């Protein structure tokens, strides 16, 4: 099969490219490199020993997206393209709504015009809001998001469900990711945040590398066993493998399906720090700091549906996540850029 990955040069997209190529599929990537670079694709090709067709351009540009579908035979699409920085989305919400919803609507319209109606979408556990019922199960009602980024995921889900409802030829697979961390075991590809990172693991890695003096732990008075927030961290290669299963599922099903992609295990921030120190034999300077606005206390997945229907489950351990994240960081202290 030949799949189009919008945003395929990004963190999760590049790892998914590897998994798809390893599974014998062909990959076409569309990316405007607003948060990535072509070097990631070159490195994917090196890992997989196979080539990728790459189109540089904006997913909101209908003429450009249409030209890609005119040139390529595409069996299905994974739609990763989007802006993802939560704090930035609060400061410049219109950019987020315009880019993330614009990309989703443009893509779906062009796909329909080209009779390609199978899409897998990068959604997020953030659409559950601050649900009191954990683990999060796909049948829970969608919640209130705490920032514009989250609402773009919530609204994109809604838009795609409505498209599939109106036209039963569509297949929409909504993947709700929990907290992707780690990197391909080769250390050739990984997460390369531009500027100040948003997420815990890049902060941990930069602290271990000495780029930052110490890690701030945001809040130790949450109603959790050790007072710090609990999340479901998932190795990015497990997540990537989940996309292969989701695409293969989409090829012979119709309608909308939602799957959590998580491990089902929750770890606190203190536990993450301890795991990183243990896996990599180092000490991580850290300090307790005030809560970060908008954080919820506990989030972890019920991954049973993905296991039952997609025959997928996360295999890699917390030690694998910490080791592979550090392997990528220490081999590429400047990410994909040269020193
Ligand atoms: P990323 O920023 O590394 O990748 C996104 C890619 O999309 C980048 O390569 C970027 O250049 C591209 N892009 C953005 N807007 C575009 C546009 N208009 N046209 C073309 N390309 C565009 O992020 P990621 O971590 O790989 O996340 C991939 C997807 O998964 C995103 O939609 C993100 O919101 C979602 N997601 C990520 C996480 C996470 O923690 N990383 C969690 C839940 C959901
Ligand atoms: N966190 C932290 N220090 C940091 C970055 C994050 O203590 O420098 C905490 C954050 O408050 C949250 C957890 O780590 O409790 C995971 O944060 P992340 O942003 O990675 O994921 P999200 O909160 O979006 O699920």
**How many helices (H) and strands (E) are present in the chain, helices listed first?**
12, 13
Q: Evaluate whether 4 touches 72 at the Cβ level (below 8 Å).
A: yes
Strands 230-231, 267-268: parallel, antiparallel or unpaired by DSSP?
A: antiparallel
Q: Evaluate whether 36 touches 10 at the Cβ level (below 8 Å).
A: yes
d(CA 339, CA 87): 28
Question: What's the Cα-to-Cα distance from 22 to each of 12, 16, 44, rounded to whole Å?
Answer: 15, 10, 11
Instruction: Quickly count: other Cβ atoms within 10 Å of residue 221's Cβ.
Output: 11
Q: Is 179 in the pocket of ligand 2 (CB under 6 A)?
A: yes
Q: Which residues line ligand 1 (CB under 6 A)?
A: 6-7, 9-13, 31-36, 58-60, 80-84, 99, 103, 122, 124, 177, 180, 199
Ligand 2 pocket mutation pick from 292, 294, 325 by most atoms within 8 angstroms of CB: 292
DSSP 8-state secondary structure symbol assigned to residue 166: H
d(CA 74, CA 170): 14
Strands 53-56, 215-218: parallel, antiparallel or unpaired by DSSP?
A: unpaired
3-state secondary structure of 106: helix
Instruction: Give pLDDT tens digits for 289-329.
Output: 999 999 999 999 999 999 999 999 999 999 999 999 999 99
Which stretches does DSSP call E strand in the chain? 2-6, 26-31, 53-56, 76-79, 118-124, 171-177, 179-181, 215-218, 230-231, 233-235, 255-261, 267-268, 286-289
pLDDT per residue of the chain (339 residues) written in tens, 0 to 9: 999 999 999 999 999 999 999 999 999 999 999 999 999 999 999 999 999 999 999 999 999 999 999 999 999 999 999 999 999 999 999 999 999 999 999 999 999 999 999 999 999 999 999 888 999 999 999 999 999 999 999 999 999 999 999 999 999 999 999 999 999 999 999 999 888 898 999 999 999 999 999 999 999 999 999 999 999 999 999 999 999 999 999 999 999 999 999 999 999 999 999 999 999 999 999 999 999 999 999 999 999 999 999 999 999 999 999 999 999 999 999 999 876
Close Cβ partners of 290 (under 8 Å, ≥ 6 residues apart):
218, 219
7 CA distance to ligand 1 middle (Å) = 6
The HSE-up count of residue 163 (CA atoms within 13 Å, CB side) is 24
DSSP 8-state secondary structure symbol assigned to residue 309: I
Among the listed residues 182, 191, 181, the one whose alpha carbon sits nearest the alpha carbon of residue 332: 191
Close Cβ partners of 42 (under 8 Å, ≥ 6 residues apart):
none
Say which of 11, 96, 149, 222 is annotated catalytic. 149
85 CA distance to ligand 2 middle (Å) = 12
Q: Is 203 in the pocket of ligand 2 (CB under 6 A)?
A: yes
d(CA 48, CA 64): 28
Residue ID of nearest Cα to ligand 2 atom 12: 229
Ligand 1 pocket mutation pick from 4, 6, 8, 10 by most atoms within 8 angstroms of CB: 10
Q: Which atom of ligand 1 is nearest to the CA of 33?
A: 11
d(CA 284, CA 210): 10
Residue ID of nearest Cα to ligand 2 atom 24: 199
Q: Under the phi-then-psi rule, with left for phi > 0, alpha for psi from -120 to 50, and beta for the rest, what region is 240?
A: alpha
∠ Cα 272 276 280 (to 5°): 170
Nearest ligand, measured from the Cα of 296: 2
Q: Reply yes or no on whether 336 is catalytic.
A: no
Q: Is 181 in the pocket of ligand 2 (CB under 6 A)?
A: no
Q: At what angle do helices 269-280 and 318-331 cross, to 10 degrees?
A: 70
Question: What's the Cα-to-Cα distance from 296 to each of 64, 76, 91, 261, rounded to whole Å?
Answer: 39, 34, 20, 19
Q: Which atom of ligand 1 is nearest to the CA of 34?
A: 11
Nearest ligand, measured from the Cα of 231: 2
């Amino acid at each position: 099969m030949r799949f189009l990955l919008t945003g395929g040069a990004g963190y999760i997209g590049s790892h998914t490219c590897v998994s798809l190529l390893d599974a014998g599929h062909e990959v076409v990537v569309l990316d405007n490199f607003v948060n990535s670079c072509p070097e990631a694709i070159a490195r994917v090709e090196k890992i997989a020993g196979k080539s990728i067709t790459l189109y540089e351009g904006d997913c909101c540009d209908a003429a450009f997206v249409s030209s890609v579908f005119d040139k390529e035979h595409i069996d299905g699409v994974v739609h990763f393209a989007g802006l993802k920085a939560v704090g930035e989305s609060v400061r410049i919400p219109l950019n987020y709504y315009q880019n993330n919803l614009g990309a989703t609507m443009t893509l779906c319209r062009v796909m329909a015009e080209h009779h390609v109606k199978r899409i897998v979408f990068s959604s997020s556990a953030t659409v559950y809001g601050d649900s009191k019922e954990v683990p999060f199960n796909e049948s829970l009602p969608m919640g209130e998001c705490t920032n514009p980024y989250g609402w773009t995921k919530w609204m994109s889900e809604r838009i795609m469900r409505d498209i599939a409802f109106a036209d039963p030829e569509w297949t929409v697979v909504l993947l709700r990711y929990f907290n992707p961390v780690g990197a391909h075991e080769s250390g050739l590809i990984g997460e390369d945040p531009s500027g100040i990172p948003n997420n815990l693991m890049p902060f941990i890695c930069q602290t271990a590398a000495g780029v930052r003096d110490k890690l701030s732990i945001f809040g130790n008075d949450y109603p959790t066993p050790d007072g710090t927030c609990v999340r479901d961290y998932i190795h990015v290669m497990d997540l990537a493998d989940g996309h292969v299963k989701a695409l293969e599922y989409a090829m012979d099903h119709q309608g909308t399906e939602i799957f959590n992609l998580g491990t089902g295990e929750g770890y606190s921030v203190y536990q993450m720090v301890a795991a990183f120190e243990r896996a990599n034999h180092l000490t991580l300077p850290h300090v307790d700091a005030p809560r970060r606005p908008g954080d919820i206390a506990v989030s972890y997945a019920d991954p049973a549906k993905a296991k039952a229907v997609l025959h997928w489950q996360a295999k890699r351990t917390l030690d694998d996540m910490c080791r592979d994240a550090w392997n990528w960081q220490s081999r590429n202290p400047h990410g994909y850029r040269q020193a």
